[in-house]
Amino acid sequence: MQGGHVIQEPVNLSSVLTSSKPNYITSLTKIVGTLGPKSCSVEIIEACLKAGMSVARFDFSWLDGEYHQKTLDNLRMAVKKSGKLCAVMLDTMGPQLHVSNNTGNPIELRAEQRLIITPDMTKQPSSQVLPVKYDGLAKAVKKGDTIFLGQYLFTGSEKTSVWLEVVETGGADVICLVKNSAVLSGFIITIHVSQVRINLPTLSDTDKQVICDWGARNSVSFISLSHTRHGEDVQELRAFLKANKLEDIQIFAKIENVEGLKHFDNILNEADGIILGRGNLGIDLPPEKVFLFQKSAIHKCNMIGKPIMVSRVMDSMTENLRPTRAEATDIANAVLDGTDGILLGAETFRGQYPVEAIETVGKICAEAEKVYNQPSHYKRLVSSILESMTHAEAVASSAVRVAAKVKAAMLIVFTSSGRAARLIAKYRPVLPVFAVVIPRLSANSIKWTFNGTLQARQLLGVRGVYPILASPYGGTTGGYSEEFGLKVTLEHANSVGLLKQNDKVVIFQKIRDSFVVKVHEYV
């Protein structure tokens, strides 16, 4: 568990009354936006990119590949128009249960009434019965268990979600008592059974088909593995990706139930990154326990340098133009704890204010980053791994320390795989890290190709890192020139206002077999 002060002292409270200055970089903390019905047009997506979205999430537990393809095509157009890079995250369905409300008619439920959940798919969804395509629910639950229903699950609002208590089972049916009045809306109604294992595979056949078809065709950067329960779930997905020649895609394990919590260390060891799915997790855990797991999970990810993202931060902005004070504080605390990213779901997917939601998150993150206690994080991290620190990490940590001492305006890292940039980001520098990704030449039996685009986009999920894909030739006839790459990066930073004359820049790169740190003055 993290210790010490999470903010730098002393904090000048007069800064609370000072207006924040707009910046080319919205925040070091990355923002993931889920694209859907309210955020599928070129115009809205372009506005989301300009507001600070760096990763676009496509949730396959909701709409089909054809719908998502249209949205992704619009994303590509928006990227070209805005000049902003954006990575693509595919979110799997996994063992999620839901009711298909094909008519779309609202279903009104009243407290103290009885409701039957049945695997009989010939039944039409109504206020008396809800069909679910899973015949093992009656065997999995017992009297007194809790079931939640809703479009985005129970959030404390009595209008959109319902809390059920299992009364009895009859054959394959589950008879429940409705605990609060609500109107269920939408074509898909999610079901979550608290602390009960659903005996369905984490990686479903549908997920595999989507990955091989839609994911491969669109060169996705990340796969969010929903409902990850064991490290073996990640291993299975990684083996599947390798078998289909998609092994470069990164896997973010989404932890959203007690089973995943219990096996968190093993999952973290196997995954490339973590997503805390606080919607379901907030149902599986007592409310007073959620923050403990969040802080512990973020700390563990920080200590080994793997990115972590937090979801379900601003439910109120789904229908309101401003977040609650508690939500704003929640986001800031996640940044102070060390999260790499904030993942927006309903806020951008079906919310009325997707652009404003991203803008608001960016502003809150930027304010928290100003007082983030980076020296404390640095000392704690170095002391925890000092004896096992590699040469590369020792030099990377020194680069961050040098940047702080010389008051550098930015850090520049030359990398091919992205690992060097992630090493720098692990020490949470409070200045932007520009990762110049050098393409790698590879060959198969047919042709030679340059790789690097995917590795560059994957850095869009790491706190503080901004990738630039270098030219394979870098203005020379003899291959890539790091001198030319440095020149281009500095000119770009100057053009967007991040760098001015006489500013210092710290460079981290590998020369032959050694990593080195240089201090460069921009003239």
- The mean per-residue pLDDT over the stretch 392-402 comes to 96
* Section 266-295 average pLDDT: 93
Q: Look at residue 87 and tell me whether its pLDDT is greater than 90.
A: yes
> Measured in Å, how far apart are the chain's first and last C-alpha atoms?
44
Q: Which residue's structure tokens are 């065997």?
A: 139
Query: Is residue 86 classed as helix, strand or coil in its secondary structure?
Result: coil
pLDDT the model gives residue 2: 46
To which residue do tokens 């210092």 refer? Answer: 504
Residue 444 scores a pLDDT above 90:
no
Q: Report which of residues 229 and 15 the model is more confident about.
A: 229
> Would you say residue 250 has pLDDT above 50?
yes
- The model's pTM: 0.92
Share of the chain above pLDDT 70, in %: 91
Averaged pLDDT, 56-67: 91
**DSSP category for residue 460:** G
Query: For the CA atoms of 240, 246, 248, 254, what is the dihedral angle to 10 degrees?
Result: -50
The yes-or-no verdict on residue 88 having pLDDT over 90 is yes
CB neighbour class for 283 (10 Å; exposed up to 12, middle 13-18, buried from 19)? buried
In three-state secondary structure terms, 295 is helix
Nearest to 435 by CA among 508, 367, 501, 499: 508
The CA-based diameter of the chain, rounded to the nearest angstrom, is: 78
DSSP-assigned letter for residue 25: S
State the Cα torsion 307-390-469-428 to the nearest 10°.
40
Q: Is it the case that residue 89 has pLDDT exceeding 90? A: yes
Q: Which residues are paired to 173 by β-bridges? A: 170
Confidence of residue 519 (pLDDT cuts 50, 70, 90): very high
Verify cis geometry, omega within 30 degrees of 0, for the bond prior to 429: no
pLDDT at 13 over 60: no
pLDDT, greater one: 322 or 1: 322
DSSP code of 283?
H
Provide the pLDDT for residue 103.
Answer: 82
Q: Which are the contacts of 104, defined by CB distance < 8 A and separation ≥ 6?
A: 186, 187
Q: What is the DSSP string of 467-517?
A: EEEPPSSTTSSSS--HHHHHHHHHHHHHHTTS--TT-EEEEEEEETTEEEE
pLDDT at 412: 96
How does strand 250-255 pair with strand 222-225?
parallel
Q: Which range is least confidently modeled, 165-179, 278-292, 417-431?
A: 278-292
Sort strands 146-150 and 188-193 into parallel, antiparallel or unpaired: antiparallel
How is residue 465 written in tokens? 């890192």
- Pairing mode, if any, of strands 129-131 and 114-118? parallel
Read off the tokens for 95: 């063992």
Provide the percentage of residues in the chain whose pLDDT is more than 90.
72
For residue 3, pLDDT beyond 90: no
- Predicted local confidence at residue 225, as pLDDT: 98
pLDDT recorded at residue 321: 95
CB 325 within 8 A of CB 360: no
Name every residue whose Cβ is closer than 8 Å to that of residue 287 and which is 6 or more positions away in sequence.
none
pLDDT exceeds 60 at position 122: yes
pLDDT at 73: 98
434: closest CA among 373, 366, 489? 489
466-517: pLDDT as tens digits? 999 887 665 544 455 678 888 889 999 999 899 999 999 999 998 888 899 9
Q: Domains in the chain, please, with CATH? A: 23-95+202-370 (3.20.20.60), 97-194 (2.40.33.10), 374-522 (3.40.1380.20)
Of 441, 429, 444, give the one whose Cα is nearest residue 505.
429
Query: What's the gap between Cα 489 and its chain centre?
Result: 27
- Does residue 220 contact residue 249 with C-beta atoms inside 8 Å? yes
SS3 323: coil
Distance between CA atoms of 363 and 369, rounded to whole angstroms? Answer: 10
Contacts of 416 (CB under 8 A, 6+ apart): 437, 438, 439, 440, 452, 455
Q: State mean pLDDT over 190-216.
A: 93
